[in-house]
Amino acid sequence: MLKVDECRPNLTLSCYATHVPILSDIYKAFEITPKITFQKTYACSCSCSRIHTHTSCCFTLQQNYKTFREREPMSAYKDKDARINGIKDQIRVVPNFPKPGIMFQDITTLLLKPKEFKDTIDMFVERYKGKNISVVAGIEARGFIFGPPIALAIGAKFVPLRKPKKLPGKVISEEYILEYGRDCLEMHVGAVESAERALVVDDLIATGGTLCAAINLLERVGAEVVECACVIELPDLKGRERLNGKPLYVLVESH
Ligand SMILES: O=P(O)(O)OC[C@H]1O[C@H](OP(=O)(O)OP(=O)(O)O)[C@H](O)[C@@H]1O
Ligand SMILES: Nc1ncnc2[nH]cnc12
């Protein structure tokens, strides 16, 4: 397994020597000529001052590098998809809600626009169809809006991850820290089985605490979290960095 923690300008990727051909292929895919330096007999690193357009991405490269996610952009807006501006334009930003200083990203205005709402769902479905995902886990409350149509379209089941004391069956719980205070997510025991391939869906990533708790719940029952998908990222809050290298795909950024 080759783990790449972060890709930024001037990045260096390190790997075992046996993976150098894979790494070279990756750089080739981005039309970058790598400088390959052998540091020890068993390890090497490749570095290059020019890097692809994604400013921040985290991924784990599996032995089978067909699953290499960086071949697909991790942010749709960086891929210049024509639908993105339409989606972004329909998200209302409400200053000082629910507290002074918060720029609230209101997706209810997007839901009023069938074309842009459908474009949102379609973009996720195009990315995840045929990826052998058996479970879409949606986070209460706004993940319940985007998760179910994606699940239906890709032929996966939908599992709600709920706030405490909402689910009637036996649950497992995961606490997490918010900007102010703590919260908790719960999942029904038996809803997801070991070795299932899961996608986590929410409307927005801010500090990343909520997605991190969702990933933990799924991994505790032995599921593989393939990716997290959000409509909006607030990159200034660096939520991606709390996902322990799990890939995150977003449609729009808001600063
Ligand atoms: O990345 P984080 O800092 O964890 O924040 C992101 C979470 O915050 C919002 O939910 P909220 O907790 O406001 O609940 P709601 O969807 O029920 O309104 C949003 O829908 C995400 O779930
Ligand atoms: N700025 C924001 N807008 C909407 N939901 C949020 N959850 C956390 N921060 C948020």
Give the Cα separation of 216 and 211 in Å (integer): 9
Distance of CA 135 to the CA centre of its chain: 15
Number of domains, the chain: 2
Look at ligand 2, atom 1, and give the residue with the nearest C-alpha: 104
Domain membership of residue 238 (yes or no) is yes
Do 83 and 23 sit in the same domain of this protein? no
Domain membership of residue 232 (yes or no) is yes
Do 53 and 166 sit in the same domain of this protein? no
- Taking residues 163-181, report their average pLDDT: 93
Higher pLDDT, 73 or 74: 74
Do 37 and 132 sit in the same domain of this protein? no
Domain membership of residue 183 (yes or no) is yes
Give the model's pLDDT for residue 76. 82
Do 113 and 238 sit in the same domain of this protein? yes
pLDDT at 23 over 80: no
Give the model's pLDDT for residue 69. 42
What is the C-alpha radius of gyration for the chain, rounded to an integer number of angstroms?
19
Domain membership of residue 67 (yes or no) is no
Do 220 and 170 sit in the same domain of this protein? yes
Do 217 and 244 sit in the same domain of this protein? yes
pLDDT at 254 over 60: yes
Q: Is the CB–ligand 1 distance for residue 202 below 6 Å?
A: yes
Query: Pairing between strand 135-139 and 157-161?
Result: parallel
Do 93 and 173 sit in the same domain of this protein? yes
Do 142 and 92 sit in the same domain of this protein? yes
Q: Give the type of residue at 46.
A: C
Q: Is the CB–ligand 2 distance for residue 105 below 6 Å?
A: yes
Structural domain that includes position 53: 2-61
Domain membership of residue 68 (yes or no) is no
Do 17 and 123 sit in the same domain of this protein? no
Give the model's pLDDT for residue 142. 98
pLDDT tens digits along 230-253: 999 999 999 999 998 999 999 999
The residues, ordered by sequence, that sit 6+ positions from 19 with a Cβ below 8 Å of its Cβ are 2
Do 24 and 147 sit in the same domain of this protein? no
Q: Is the pTM of this model over 0.80?
A: no
Helix (H) or strand (E) holding 206: none
Q: How many CB atoms lie within 10 A of CB 244?
A: 14
Do 150 and 185 sit in the same domain of this protein? yes
CA of 12 to the centre of ligand 2 (A): 33
Do 145 and 233 sit in the same domain of this protein? yes
Look at ligand 1, atom 15, and give the residue with the nearest C-alpha: 141
pLDDT at 148 over 90: yes
Q: Is the CB–ligand 2 distance for residue 205 below 6 Å?
A: no
